[in-house]
Chain A
Amino acid sequence: MSVTDQIIEAGQTVFVVDDDLSARESLCWLLNTEDIASRAFASAESFLDHWNPDLTGCITVDIRMPGKSGLQLQEELNARHNLMPVIVLTGHADVPVAIRAMKLGAYDFLEKPYSDDELLACVKNALALSREIDHAEIEISRLARALENLTDREREVMCLVVEGNTNKAIGVQLGISEKTVEIHRARVMEKTAARSLSELVRICLILKDKI
């Protein structure tokens, strides 16, 4: 099995997008010496064909490529809500191009030829960030599922609690007794696994468009 074909199932992968064969193969080989899995693509188009939301890891792209450039690949990935960090590698660092790459949300910008230490540090940081993002994603989807389990009334109570209303005021507003409000409130805390009011507020902020 060649280095470039390695994908560690369920693990993180560095997706290397570069039109130059020796540049991309050598990078994959370097990553392999640090036991980092990688997969190489010769063009932005072939990587986009392969891309799906479940991929995890990070992406290195060369700016100058025939067909879609690195910057255009970034635009396309942004349109698809890609969450993997993108490291931009370029044979000629010119300031305005770097600015554009950064504006498109590049994680870092390295000029070729880079030092191996620099690149490996950068990739490792990007992978760590990616893990955090993944965890956050998992957390968010867990919370989202929890919110889906709330009844309409529970949801109403939760919103009013987060807005800072007292149980009494909520009861008056919804035309129910303070006791009933308390029961709803307890069930909300239980379903969302929130340990305090402030945690509940945080959850609601993260998921405010899903409520």
Chain B
Amino acid sequence: MSIGVLAFRGKQDAIDRWSPTARYLSERIADYSFRIVPLTLEGMLDHVEQDRLDFILTNTGNYVVLENAFGISRLATLKVRHLGAEFTQFGAVIFTRQDNTELNALADISGYSMLAVSEEAFGGFQMAWRELLEAGIDPFEDLRLSFGGFPQDDIVHAVLAGEVDVGTVRSGTLERMAADGLIDIDRIKVLGARQSDVFPFLHSTRLYPEWPFAKGRRTPEALAQRVAVALLELEPDSEAAVRAFSAGWTIPLDYGPVHELFRELEIGPYAYLSKPSLTSVWREYKGWIIFSLAMMLLLMVLLILISRANRRISQSELKYRAEANQRRQAQELLARHKEELEERVAERTAELADVNTSLRRSEATLRAIHDITTNPEFRFEDKLAGLLREGCRFFEMESGVILSIDGENDDFLARVDVGADGEPVDYRQLARRLRKQIAINHDPVAVADLQGHCFQGDSDVCESTGSVLAADYLIDDETAGVILFASSRANPREFSDVDIDILQLMAQWLGGEIERAEINRRAQEHQAQLAHVSRLNTMGEMATGIAHELNQPLTAILNYSGGSLRLLQKRGNGDSELRQAIVNIGNDARRAADIIKGLREFIQRGEHRRERFVLEDCIESAVELLRPRLLQHEIEVDLRRVEAIPDIVADRLQIEQVAVNLLINAIDAVCAVGHGPKKIEIGITRTGVGEVAVSVSDSGDLLSQSVIEHLFDPFYTTKSDGMGMGLSISRSIVESHGGTIEYLVNEAQHPAFRFTLPVT
């Protein structure tokens, strides 16, 4: 993966600054490797235009230009570290000398001299330009404007030395120079100063977001998402952040204000807004205008020369025409003999050309089908529609449909019409009829002219007109649907073997793809369900945890209030007011307990769905779910089932959740060790009559006594990013199924978690 980086201080500086970030991303997203491509402004433009970059790291102004022109989009905004604090925005400051009494507001500077970085500098000029325009000043017309380039310090020195009246630099520059002892900030007067609660530096302009990290338009969304997450999780003190003079990244800010700026200044993506005036045209196109005038002059000279030559040629032409007449008569005789021969050759050539064209067309179609079916960016529906469109084009048909047929039910999976102008065809009816014909031995149907054509076993189709091509696709060797192309008119050409081969190829691909899509859909549905269950469990467990914690003091309150009433009674103390107060204490404590109970019941309303299943399958699907993580960390998993295990009746998703929780803990535990083989062992055994046990052990370190004591407590965690709910939830699930869960050290001296479930 390449990250194009704007190298505003030279290539080496860009590499030094951003390589740690690329390294960090490569570590976090282990299946990709990221590298830095340092680029100039122009280089950036070329690279992005040709889609040669997967990610782009550039300044705010440049980003907006690229976003507008090439559809790159931002994933995160840089948190810049400046003078010990973090900022995600910046602006520019317009200033003069403190002792300049004539200049007190932006509007005052008309006619004075001003120094900025360059016309293209976003913070070094364009920000100030916008504010000046709003103050009624066109810096190009009303000021004696000059550009001094980088570093910006020179501009500050020039203003203080009185070489220019006004300067503009990026916000923070003045404070940095003052902190370095380079200037006395009290000698500076800021013009049009603005106030901000969040931004402490002197500034005269609106604030704009800092550098974005953007993705190219072709970069897959899923990868971009992972990169965004990794960036947001970058620690402020990590090498990657520090070397970039940043404190990491934050969620992307709104770059709309930058668009507004460009629109108002009619530059960047909005340059077309700028109305050409004669002077501006001359300024901009001076070279071109001079060049064009010179070319016109040259053209005129050439024209004169040519017309002279022409006159000479027409004179000699008359002479040659007579000779040619004689020659033609002789040639005509010869030609008549040749014609006959050529006619035959032409016939043969035409035939060959036909074959050739058809082959070339089918080759192109095959390539197109391949491109459509293998494009990872296409959704399943897009692929089906693309396939039909390609088919319509190749077979020269008006419509294509894919109809899935399941017994008496059918369903259009996709349908494409390209300019059907005749009678509308009832594809559903046609497909169902043809299916009988096709299903006999899965032979495709290809009829270029249906007029008078009868299909075996169904005479109704005889009445149809037009043309049809159809084949069935198979799932598990059974007809699962039909792909059909049809027109309301007879096809201009007969269908050939090539047509049928291509049709069959499409049908074959369809069968496989639909089967795969179904498998994928089921896997995704399962994951979604598991995530839902996991969320519910977390909520329920939190509610239970809170309820348990609160019930303890409530119990104590009730014990004390109840006991107090008893003592009052016993000692014959008749203070009824005091009595009532104690009764109220008890009632309110009970009310609090009822509220907690209600809350917990509300969250836990989802009852267990009991079903009969094979425990091993359930554990296996938990392992599959975590397969990517296991592969990433090169962890070996050994699932062992020694004896025959009876089926379980339980909430399968919940049990899977327990297995997932234990596996995640095991993965974290083996990764924490960092040396030796990484191994997780899962064992399923029968522990006694009516009970089975699942144990998950790992090659990680044994747990300390202090950890063991709180293992199953809610909110207790040893992980920096953990919530401390996993084991607590697991225990609740196992116990609600009538089982137990415990931590133990197994025979191999490895840490293990073991849970039991009743069989009946």
Contact = CB atoms under 8 A, between A and B. Distances in A.
Interface string B542-558: 00100111011111111
B605 interface: no
Given A66-B713, A100-B738, A115 B558 contact: yes
Interface in A1-39: 20, 22-23, 25-27, 29-30, 32-34
Interface stretch (B85-93, B239-247, B301-309, B560-568): B560-568
A26 B556 contact: yes
Given A22-B553, A113-B555, A116-B566, A30 B709 contact: no
B562 to A, nearest CB: 3
A84 B317 CA distance: 135
B678 interface: no
B559 A116 contact: yes
B570 interface: yes
Interface string B5-34: 000000000000000000000000000000
Interface string B571-615: 000000000000000000110010000001000000000000000
A92 interface: yes
Interface in A59-92: 64, 66-67, 71, 91-92
A117 B710 CA distance: 33
A112 interface: yes
Contacts of B710: 66
B735 A97 contact: yes
A51 interface: no
B195 interface: no
A48 to B, nearest CB: 15
B560 A91 contact: no
Interface in A114-138: 114-117
Nearest to B552: A20
B562 A116 contact: yes
Contacts of A99: 738
B325 to A, nearest CB: 114
Contacts of A29: 559-560, 563
A34 B558 CA distance: 15
A45 to B, nearest CB: 10
B560 A26 contact: yes
Contacts of A96: 735-738
B551 A30 contact: no
Contacts of B544: 92
Contact of A116 (B548, B549, B563): B563
- Which of B558, B559, B735 has the largest number of chain A CB atoms within 10 A? B559
- Which of A67, A92, A117 has the largest number of chain B CB atoms within 10 A? A92
A94 interface: yes
Interface in A152-174: none
Q: Looking at chain A's contact residues, is the secondary structure mostly helix, strand, loop, or mixed?
A: helix
Contacts of B548: 64, 91-92
Contact of B709 (A67, A112, A116, A117): A67
Contact of B562 (A30, A67, A112): A30
Contacts of B555: 20, 23, 26-27, 112-114
B589 A113 contact: yes
Given A91-B547, A96-B737, A22 B552 contact: yes
A129 to B, nearest CB: 23
Nearest to B560: A26
Given A29-B563, A66-B710, A97-B735, A116 B558 contact: yes
Contacts of B547: 91-92
Given A22-B556, A92-B547, A115-B558, A30 B563 contact: yes
B709 A33 contact: no
- Which of A34, A97, A116 has the largest number of chain B CB atoms within 10 A? A116
Contact of B552 (A112, A115, A116): A112
Nearest to A31: B563
Contacts of B709: 66-67
Interface size classification for chain A = 20 to 34
Interface in B716-760: 732, 735-738, 740
B736 A113 contact: no
Contacts of A115: 558, 562, 590
A108 to B, nearest CB: 16
A91 B714 CA distance: 14
B744 to A, nearest CB: 13
A177 to B, nearest CB: 53
Contacts of B736: 94-97
Contacts of A25: 556
Contacts of B738: 96, 99-100
Contacts of B567: 33
A91 B550 CA distance: 9
Contacts of B557: 26, 113
A26 B738 CA distance: 32
B537 to A, nearest CB: 14
Contacts of A64: 548
Contacts of B552: 20, 22-23, 91, 112
A159 B697 CA distance: 56
B78 to A, nearest CB: 46
Contacts of A116: 558-559, 561-563, 566
A17 B558 CA distance: 18
Given A92-B548, A92-B600, A96-B737, A113 B558 contact: yes
Given A91-B548, A92-B547, A92-B600, A27 B559 contact: yes
A128 to B, nearest CB: 20
A117 B586 CA distance: 12
B551 A34 contact: no
Contact of A26 (B559, B566, B590, B732): B559
A113 B551 contact: yes
A22 B737 CA distance: 31
A91 B551 contact: yes
B588 to A, nearest CB: 12
A23 to B, nearest CB: 5
A22 B549 CA distance: 12
Contacts of A117: 562
A20 B590 CA distance: 19
Contacts of A94: 732, 735-736
Nearest to A95: B736
Contacts of A97: 735-736
A71 B732 CA distance: 14
Contacts of A23: 552-553, 555-556, 559
A29 B559 CA distance: 8
B94 to A, nearest CB: 65
A30 B554 contact: no
A113 B562 contact: no
B729 to A, nearest CB: 13
Interface string B278-299: 0000000000000000000000
- Which of A32, A34, A96, A117 has the largest number of chain B CB atoms within 10 A? A96
A25 B551 CA distance: 15
A27 B558 CA distance: 9
B34 to A, nearest CB: 45
B563 to A, nearest CB: 4
A117 B567 CA distance: 14
Nearest to B713: A66
Interface in B521-548: 544, 547-548
B512 to A, nearest CB: 46
A61 to B, nearest CB: 14
B760 to A, nearest CB: 13
A13 to B, nearest CB: 18
A92 B589 CA distance: 16
Instruction: Pick the 3 closest A-B CB pairs, nearest first.
Output: A116-B562, A26-B559, A91-B548
Interface of B: 544, 547-549, 551-563, 566-567, 570, 589-590, 593, 600, 709-710, 713, 732, 735-738, 740
8 contacts: A23-B555, A26-B556, A91-B547, A92-B548, A92-B551, A94-B732, A96-B737, A115-B562
Given A23-B556, A112-B551, A113-B557, 7 more contacts: A22-B556, A23-B552, A29-B560, A92-B551, A113-B555, A113-B590, A117-B562
